[in-house]
Amino acid sequence: MTMATTAWIGRVTAAFLWRGWAVLVSLCLLAALWQVGHEVYGGLVLPSPMDTLRALGALVAEGVALPAALETARDALMGFGLAAVAGVLIGAAAGLSVTVGRLLEPLVRFFLGVPAIAWVVLALIWFAGSGLAAVFTVVVTTLPVVIIGAMQGARTLDGEVLDMARAFRAPLGVRIVDIYVPHILSYVFPALATAMGLSWKLAVMAEVLGGTAGIGEGLSLARVNIDTADAMAWILLALIMLLSLEGLVMDPLRRRLEPWRATRGQAARERRS
C-alpha cells in the first residue's frame, strides 16, 4: 500500500468518525431534552427515552415490529419507485418539448396544490380493502415533485454546451450520456430525495387512516390503547428506517453522482490551498 493510499484511508476514517461523533452528540442532546420533558410532564404525556426503547424492544420481541416495518417500506418504496420512474420520464419530456410543458405545467401545479390528506381520503374510498391506498397516495403526492425537478432540469439545458457538442459532431448517444443525463440528474436528485422522505410519511399516514397493515396501524392501535410509549416506539422505528435509508443509500449515491459540485466547504478548502 502506498503512502498516498494510507493517507487517504486515514482521512476518510477521520471524517467518518468526526461525523459519527457529531451525530452522537446531537442525539444525546435530544435524549437529554426528551428526559427533561418526561420528568416535567410525566410518563403518560411523554414516556422517557429508556421506556420508549424498552417498548420498541418489546414490539420487536413480540414479532410485531418487523412485519409492520416491512409493510410500510413496501408501500413507501413501491410508490416512490413508480413516481420516480414516471416522474423523470414525464418531466424530461415536458422540459424538452415546449408544447408538452405548456400542457403539463398547470396540471402539475394543480396536483401539487391538493392536500396530501385529501388524497388519502380519496384513496381509501377508491381502493378500500385492496391495500393499494397507501401506494396510490404516495404516487400521486410525490409524482408532481419529481416531475417539476426533471422539467426544470430539461429546461435549463445549456444551449451553449449543446452547440459545443454539435461543433464536435457528437453522436446522439454521447450527447445523452455526457450532457442530458448528468444535467437533468443534478436537478432530479434533490427532488428524488424530497420525494423519498415524503413517501415514508405519506405511507404511514395512509396506514393510520386506513387501518391497513404497517407502522401506521401500530400507531393507531397505540392511540386506541392510549399507550404513549408504544406510539413513540413506532415513531422511532419509522425514523430509524428513513434515516438509515438516507444515510446508507441516498447520501452515498449523492456523493457518487455529484462530486463535480462545488460545495461551500470545498470551495473554502480550495481557496486556502
Partner 1 sequence: MTLTPTPDAAASVLAWHDVSVSIGRTAILDRLTLAVPAGGLLTLVGPSGCGKTTLLSIAAGLLKPGAGRVETRARRIALMFQDSRLLPWRRARDNAAFGLRCQGMPRRQRLDAAQRLLESLGLAPEDGDKFPHQLSGGMRQRVALARALAIEPDLLLLDEPFNALDSVLRRDLQDLVRQTVTARGVAAVFVTHDLTEAIRVCDRLVVMAGPPGRVAFSTGFAQPADARDDAAVLAGLQALWREPAVAEALGATPGRRRVTA
Q: Which of 155, 183, 201, 254 binds partner 1 (CB under 8 A)?
A: 183
Q: Does 178 bind partner 1 (CB under 8 A)?
A: yes
Q: CB under 8 Å to 200, separation ≥6 — which residues?
A: 72, 76, 238, 241, 242
Task: Count the residues in the chain.
Answer: 273
Distance set, CA 273 to CA 7, 18, 264, 266, 268 (Å): 17, 22, 15, 11, 9
Are the C-beta atoms of 183 and 157 separated by less than 8 Å? yes
- Whichever of 61 and 262 has its CB closer to partner 1, that residue is 262
Question: How many residues interact with partner 1 (rule CB under 8 A)?
Answer: 24
> Which residues 138-167 are close enough to bind partner 1 by CB under 8 A?
160-161, 163-167
Contact segment (CB under 8 A) with partner 1 among 22-30, 47-55, 116-124, 254-262 equals: 254-262
Q: Which of 106, 113, 115, 171 binds partner 1 (CB under 8 A)?
A: 171
Contact segment (CB under 8 A) with partner 1 among 43-51, 144-152, 181-189, 243-251 equals: 181-189
Q: Which of 31, 117, 152, 186 binds partner 1 (CB under 8 A)?
A: 186
Task: Give Cα 225 to chain centroid, integer Å.
Answer: 31
Can you read off the three cell numbers belonging to residue 106?
398547470
Are the C-beta atoms of 120 and 140 separated by less than 8 Å? no
Distance set, CA 125 to CA 100, 122, 128, 221, 260 (Å): 31, 5, 6, 21, 47
**Site of grid cell 396501524:** 217
Q: Does 172 bind partner 1 (CB under 8 A)?
A: no
H or E, element range at 47: none
- Whichever of 103 and 267 has its CB closer to partner 1, that residue is 267
- Whichever of 226 and 262 has its CB closer to partner 1, that residue is 262
Q: How far apart are CA 153 and CA 260, in angstroms?
A: 16
- Whichever of 22 and 164 has its CB closer to partner 1, that residue is 164
- Whichever of 62 and 272 has its CB closer to partner 1, that residue is 272
- Whichever of 62 and 270 has its CB closer to partner 1, that residue is 270
Q: Which of 53, 82, 170, 253 binds partner 1 (CB under 8 A)?
A: 170
- Whichever of 111 and 189 has its CB closer to partner 1, that residue is 189
Min. distance of Cβ 255 from partner 1 in angstroms?
14
- Burial class from Cβ neighbours inside 10 Å (0-12, 13-18, 19+) for residue 214 reads buried
Can you read off the three cell numbers belonging to residue 150?
426533471
Q: CB under 8 Å to 164, separation ≥6 — which residues?
A: none
Q: How far apart are CA 238 and CA 200, in angstroms?
A: 8
Q: Which of 32, 118, 174, 268 binds partner 1 (CB under 8 A)?
A: 174
Write out the residues near partner 1 by the rule CB under 8 A: 160-161, 163-171, 174, 178-179, 182-183, 186, 258-262, 267, 270
